[in-house]
A and B are shown apart, each in its own frame.
Chain A
Amino acid sequence: MATPVHTNANVPTGQPPKPQRPTRSRWSRFIHSSRTAPYVFVLPFVLSFALFFAYPVISTVIMSFQEVLPGITTYVGLENYKDLINPTFGKAILNSVLYTLLTLVVLIPLPLVLAVLLNSPKMPGRGLFRSVMFIPALTSVVVAGTIFRLMFGELDGSLMNSLLGVFGLEPYKWLMNANTGFLALIVLALWRWLGVNMLYYMSGLQNIPPELYEAAQIDGASRFDSFWRITIPMLKPVTIYVFTISIYAGLSMFTESYMLWNGNNSPNDIGLTIVGYLYRQGLEQNSMGFGAAVGIVLLVFTLLLNLVQLKFFGLFRKED
């Protein structure tokens, strides 16, 4: 873009004109400076990070040392953290960890195998299966949770009890029992997230050079050998990613349980999660300080767990 050249009418004739320098406003110079530009571009992120993440986190840390009552806020030291040592929170942690483990057990191998199957050109109806498996991820968890609650309902007519009826079995109270309640939670998670994880694996599979398989074939490797020695190691980065987000998703699960038991009140807290406990204390019981302490524990717990697993998978090792 051309910059207008300013002529100086007051320059006496006969003297050589001074070298002309484009004059820019201070604002224009600022915005065009190569030194400041990166900061300007990064500023929106920094601002939104500070406003919507750093500030709330710092406030939460402060609040976790306070008793926050309507109209009165007092510092109570470590009181909230001491109160966290109780059986209900223990149960919430146990449930969240168990849920995370169970989802990891089903939501990593199954999508991997399905992705390999659907990636094979020999598989008929590949396109159809890919979309069918992905559709549940687009369904709102509220809708899905309600449908699963009805499916696992305790009357004879609910889907699961109808299935039992086919085998001549008595109707069962699925959501009243810890084991079957968890089964419903895991089936719901599997139904919703199978397609998404499969998609990650499929994109990973596209990046494996076909020459590797050809070479293996020439060397006489079986299909299983190729899968075990080429596919799985080459998919390691995807697996680490899926693992990391699954840990986070598992520990932060709340809505599924909330919908399945029609509120944050499952019988004997069989569906209570850490976030459910946070919600109960912070909002349902109006103990914001205590709720903040639960949130901090969850943050530290998730962070530690993910750091450990990332270390374990060697993500911090320098690339060769």
Chain B
Amino acid sequence: MLLRRKSMALMLMAVVLLAGLLQGCSGKADEKDGPGTELVLWTFNELHEKFFLQMADQWNQLHPDEPIVLKANTFPYDNHHSKLSIALQSGVGAPDIADIEVNKIGNFLKGIPQLVPLNPVIDPELKNIVPSRVQIYGKDGKYYGIDFHVGAEVMYYNKEILDQAGVNPDSIVTWADYAAAGKQVLAKTGKPMATVETNDLWNYWPMISQQKSDFLDDKGELTLDNETNIKTLEFLQQMVKDKIAIPAPGGGHHMEEYYGFMNKGGAASVWMPMWYMGRFTDYMPDLKGKIIIRPLPAWEKGGSRSAGMGGTGTVVTNQSKHQDLAMRFLAFAKLSKQGNVEIWKQLGFDPIRSEVWTMPEVKAKNKFTDYFGTNIFDTLIEVKDEINAVHIGPKTPDIASAVRNKILYRTLLNGEDPATVLHELADELR
């Protein structure tokens, strides 16, 4: 009898444990948790998480009839995208809302996107926003993501070094002027004019985008090794050979080595998107008050002086049980005037809604105006019509990887011939 009871007890325990395990695996959250509909958000950036949580508070104040409880999670960049991709492919476990970085969106647009088209909220706002910032997350006329920012590429000059060299940044109009000024800076101060990334895209890509070229054309065909791209890479290589530009210490503009080098006044300028402002304020504090923001040099007088680079699209997944609510909350956070002002205030990004750029709120004192002055948006307004759309497609992740790992390294560090390298890698990618 005792034995039978023991076996029964063991069996029961096993059943209970198994049930618990299965319950745990299913990861099903309660529909309602607290006073509102629960929406789960995944991101790879803690600042984005904070922003969305604040926007959820604001939403709840304005929409007391349909409050939301936003459950936000931040994962490391690669981990986040892999987890999201597996959840979407397997059809289980995806959040309601998720961030997808622009270099990764190609993966999610392959096949039948497992994302909800956001056209109902985007279409009415298209005239108020920079359209390319939703088009890059689109396919077949459907928009699946909304960006945080324009990502306008600008030149950050170190005014102190330029003054020492006797260079007036406002007289630099073309890239040829920039190279000439670079020679002067090098001769007078012994410092390079610029640093260029050998492990990332934010120097080379805008230079070709300014000339209406790209890695892919509007039909998604590979244009990596076209004439413009070759010539641009040759120009960049020549600047490195002439020591006007040096490969960024550590390989890129997001490396510890680079921040230390630049913070000590290592180079006279760097061209990066506007979202890079936060890296200056956070990692290069000694340059406060010395950095001025100007448009990029054009390739010829009257040419484009900027390019839209980088970005994070926020999407609603088709696994969400509250797709409509998630979409409307997302529109409130990233398309509304209120949301766009917050994007500037909290994240220091150039928001995609252009009317916000002239609002007094963006001139108000914050850590960015303290660092760069209050005329940051003047530069953006100056170049707003000179930002060509970049072409993003299923091949983008592959191309980005090739440019990052091979093309820039081989040409800028190893001095190989740009045309040969570009043709070789383009053939491999085709």
Are A70 and B110 touching (Cβ within 8 A)? yes
Query: How far is A154 from B107 in the complex, measured between Cα atoms in Å?
Result: 34
Query: How far is A288 from B90 in the complex, measured between Cα atoms in Å?
Result: 12
Query: How far is A265 from B261 in the complex, measured between Cα atoms in Å?
Result: 22
A17 within 8 A of B: no
Which one of A1, A72, A176, A264 lies within 8 Å of B111 (CB-CB)?
A72
A155 within 8 A of B: yes
B65 within 8 A of A: no
* Chain B nearest CB, measured from A3 CB (Å): 8
Are A87 and B409 touching (Cβ within 8 A)? no
Query: How far is A264 from B108 in the complex, measured between Cα atoms in Å?
Result: 20
Nearest to A69 among chain B residues (CB) is: B111
A266 within 8 A of B: yes
B265 within 8 A of A: no
Binds B, one of A24-32, A121-129, A203-211: A24-32
- CB within 8 Å of A: which residues of B? 1-4, 7, 78, 81-82, 85-86, 88-89, 107-108, 110-114, 198-199, 249-251, 255-257, 260-261, 397-398, 401, 404-406, 409-410, 413-414, 428
Closest 7 CB pairs of A and B: A69-B111, A71-B112, A286-B107, A267-B409, A283-B82, A72-B111, A70-B111
Query: How far is A272 from B113 in the complex, measured between Cα atoms in Å?
Result: 30
Contact partners of B405 in chain A: CB under 8 A? 265-269, 272
Against B, the Cβ 8 Å flags (1 = close, 0 = not) of A193-226 are 0000000000000000000000000000000000
* Chain A nearest CB, measured from B136 CB (Å): 17
Query: How far is A126 from B403 in the complex, measured between Cα atoms in Å?
Result: 52
A19 within 8 A of B: no
Are B401 and A285 touching (Cβ within 8 A)? yes
Against B, the Cβ 8 Å flags (1 = close, 0 = not) of A50-75 are 00000000000000000011111000
Against B, the Cβ 8 Å flags (1 = close, 0 = not) of A151-177 are 001110000000000000000000010
Contact partners of A263 in chain B: CB under 8 A? 78
Q: Which of A3-20 contact B (CB under 8 A)?
A: 4
Contact partners of A86 in chain B: CB under 8 A? 428
Are A28 and B112 touching (Cβ within 8 A)? no
* Chain B nearest CB, measured from A241 CB (Å): 34
Query: How far is A154 from B252 in the complex, measured between Cα atoms in Å?
Result: 12
Are B397 and A286 touching (Cβ within 8 A)? yes
Could you say which of A68, A265, A266 has the most chain B C-beta atoms within 10 Å of its C-beta?
Answer: A265
Nearest to A283 among chain B residues (CB) is: B82
A130 within 8 A of B: no
Contact partners of B113 in chain A: CB under 8 A? 70-71
Are A154 and B250 touching (Cβ within 8 A)? yes
Nearest to B254 among chain A residues (CB) is: A262
Are B260 and A265 touching (Cβ within 8 A)? no
Contact partners of B256 in chain A: CB under 8 A? 150, 153
Query: How far is A45 from B401 in the complex, measured between Cα atoms in Å?
Result: 41
Which one of A68, A268, A284 lies within 8 Å of B409 (CB-CB)?
A268
A306 within 8 A of B: no
Are B7 and A154 touching (Cβ within 8 A)? no
Query: How far is A71 from B107 in the complex, measured between Cα atoms in Å?
Result: 12
Are B401 and A284 touching (Cβ within 8 A)? yes
Are B3 and A28 touching (Cβ within 8 A)? yes
Query: How far is A280 from B405 in the complex, measured between Cα atoms in Å?
Result: 12
Query: How far is A70 from B111 in the complex, measured between Cα atoms in Å?
Result: 5
* Chain B nearest CB, measured from A92 CB (Å): 12
Against B, the Cβ 8 Å flags (1 = close, 0 = not) of A259-298 are 0001111111100100000001001111010000000000
Nearest to B2 among chain A residues (CB) is: A1
Contact partners of A265 in chain B: CB under 8 A? 199, 401, 404-405
* Chain B nearest CB, measured from A306 CB (Å): 29
Which one of A70, A176, A266, A272 lies within 8 Å of B88 (CB-CB)?
A70
Nearest to A88 among chain B residues (CB) is: B428
Could you say which of B7, B112, B250, B410 has the most chain A C-beta atoms within 10 Å of its C-beta?
Answer: B250
Nearest to B10 among chain A residues (CB) is: A31
Query: How far is A43 from B413 in the complex, measured between Cα atoms in Å?
Result: 58
Nearest to A268 among chain B residues (CB) is: B409
* Chain B nearest CB, measured from A178 CB (Å): 11
Contact partners of A269 in chain B: CB under 8 A? 405-406
